[in-house]
Structure 1
């Protein structure tokens, strides 16, 4: 290829900031960070009006044709992993000698940053994180994909409470010839801290290698430091091969022994002594959840706090403000105890208030209007919390419907609301606009006592109408949404959809039908977001 022969003229140096450049359908807005393999940019996908993260391959890696072919092949394989707990890859491409991955834009912080800021989590939150990462690895294993670089930096915690595993498209393609510089001085953090023994020895890998790395990550998360550390990567690697970690129960006496055993099982030197797969790990984590947390586990619901409007439940908003103030104060042991105490109170209040609000707003409507009543290809679980965990793991339409249909009692309305929002996401991903619109319309029809749910429905409805080229109707819905816009602040996903809708509507209608203040407000929501993307 001509560009392979002329890299100096066509491939920019890796430390050059590409912000402002057009890369095919993507406008690179600003650089978010740099990693060992790629630079990360926030970009707008012009055709869809959505924000994405663009990872540009480093120049020296782009010069190796064998490496590039593997990069493209295996990144495309990773793009087939569609799951709620995996950062979605949208496109793998090459333009003007620049090799890139366009992927889902994740807002929040990675687990390493979270630990540094807040310290070790309590049992409930730890289980939420562990279960969601295990669900992602189970999905990857089904496709025969080994991540190879599970570590806190590649586990993203979103503002809505979801956990997403990043860099399947990059970590998987590390060349076996590259290896790791095990003589590097001052090695205290980095990939060698989380490598499996078989990785250290260069042996063939299977999904159990990822479980070992997850075990190291979980040990770090729960203890506050990794099980092994040293002055050089070589020193750390030898410990992965020969040294047993300090028992976790000696460090965290508050944790159930069963959870500590699970972590140490993942850390077994022999892959045959680890869990057979991520699904077995999930079953053991569920058992810990049932025994030590209980049947009702509302914290597992992503974005639970968004279900309660400020006006309806001011005491919850007050607790949220106190929680945020404590979280900003530092990672001291005293602060951590206060954080999780407040968190438990806030969740309990939100669950009661949210369930009540959702009940009165939605009880008179069918759980899934016009939904097929065909039998669900999903096994019933012992309780609604386990059913939610199952749905999170398999992430299919039937699985989310099962949360609603198997547990249709009014006290589970909070779960129903969140399950419907997950269904809408699946329908949008599949291009099933009719089914998505039914859910958006149901939420949009709520009264103003539930503004956050209503504005979510209105935003989705506005976007679908624009996709269907019903521009007048879309603008009418946006006008209805406008007085409630403050309840959408911080919801970057819906802000992006609205940005696309308003921009397309302005192209088709008179500019006066889509005032510029609308576009300016949406743009301010997107620009104002604080974003961390995995390097």
Structure 2
């Protein structure tokens, strides 16, 4: 299978009715997930137009918690869809690695917002599951599956009559079912409990440590659709209320089994006897929950035997002493725990989880034990150094194994994400190097399209893995090869061909010493001046038409670059390129003012491919990043203001209250409708409190609160009249 513009690296699996591949988009270069489905011979061209007009491809559909779709199209017998490639795994994989309950709840809160956003844009999902809940990072979740190359899937997502309240409610219900399964390992419909009449109408009771979520899931999964949450916002509000009650950060969920050595070490550290633990009757799904973080790091203190569920709670020294008195545990002894931890460290085969568990046992008994704290920090530093050394030696297997250990033991250490990114980048670089070599072997170095892709790929490898010896050497070889081709073409009088070859050589290695000599030979050729003049005329015409960086190969910027490849000091080309850059910056500014960030991204990709100077690209990219960050900040502040308003912190404390946060939003985004709405709610609540105080015979507080309400929204004539009547 060959899709123009993409180089398929490997198969990822199947999604809906499509095959899913990891691919490299060749121009401009980026890694994407490519969904491909065979189209039937009876399908009219309208099917392609329908796919290309899909709402998920529009810039205003973008949402931080919905998978980005880059482009759609068809080639031959195939429909294809290029999407953002997510490397952080899906929900099942993250649960296998281990997640705090707080992180899980926060992720589902974000997904509720994604559902409401998609519904507002006229899209239903219809098949939410753990497989299409993905993680860009530990704290950033995305929902996949809103756009499909399968026409049947699109009919489901875009009902003929539009997305109804029932469609949206079903999506919220599916999300709740997925949340229940993440918590318990069981499908909600397989775990119903009966009411007094023997009717199955709610999921089975959650384990004791998850009881705080029982009311939320009872409503979310109610048999009667009218009793369920009617929107993602309602479901999110219920989850956030539980999160605000506290305690979720101390609970963790992990579905993968731990080693017997880790179970033994943590069991001894927690003072557990060797008696057979109670087995959960639902057994088939491994699920561990523990209060302190060190239990997760050492295997979550979960004896996952035969698929059972085990809960180990942190014991304070008073509880341990009491258990010692009744003969259920040994009397804690800091010194013996320290000796045991040190003995474990001297054993070279022990895992990081076991070593850290030993020292954390010491801290359980004596929270001020500085040597244990230093030992844990020393282990973390040692493991980081081992990872860095393995990377330097290109031993990615060892580096990844060490990093996985650290991620389990220190799940909240987000500095590990950088090491993980380096490993991922190195693997991506090696994969890209292999595919680039394969391309050049099959196509040959002298084919310009293959060489262009190869040069971009080698440069991407150097970006992913700076100083990559093989990529730099092969770039230099390509530069020398095309410099020689340019020399041969100039000698034969083919100035146009020589210019094209020289441009490839300069792109591969602009500092190659032989380039200057080749330029001189081309400049001496009899047809050089006429070819340059023709290129300048073409470039000027394209500028006049506004074709600055598009279409590829024939835009003004690339035509000027061809001139400069032969005559680097050509004043007309240099000035023309400066004018193109200036026009491009103006165009980007207009797009920013119009709020079309998707168009800015496309313009940036085109400008990069056309060779626009790095400073201008950086200026646009920086502004784009700032705009995206501002949107994220505004969303974050609106959510924070909502929480403060719900908690009653309207104007106090002075340094952090709902009104102050909303004023920040208005400064960032004047006219933000949601901020205005929340300010109105805040003022209304202050006025309500004022009237309650006045009715209770408290005129001074009443006037104070009404003055605050008028300060927030001074245009309320009714409140001003009321204030005057209270004088």
Task: Return the structure number with greater relative CO, CA threshold 8 A, min gap 6.
Answer: 1
TM-score (norm 2): 0.35
Bigger Rg, which one: 2
Bigger fraction of residues in helix? 2
**TM-score normalised by the chain length of structure 1:** 0.46
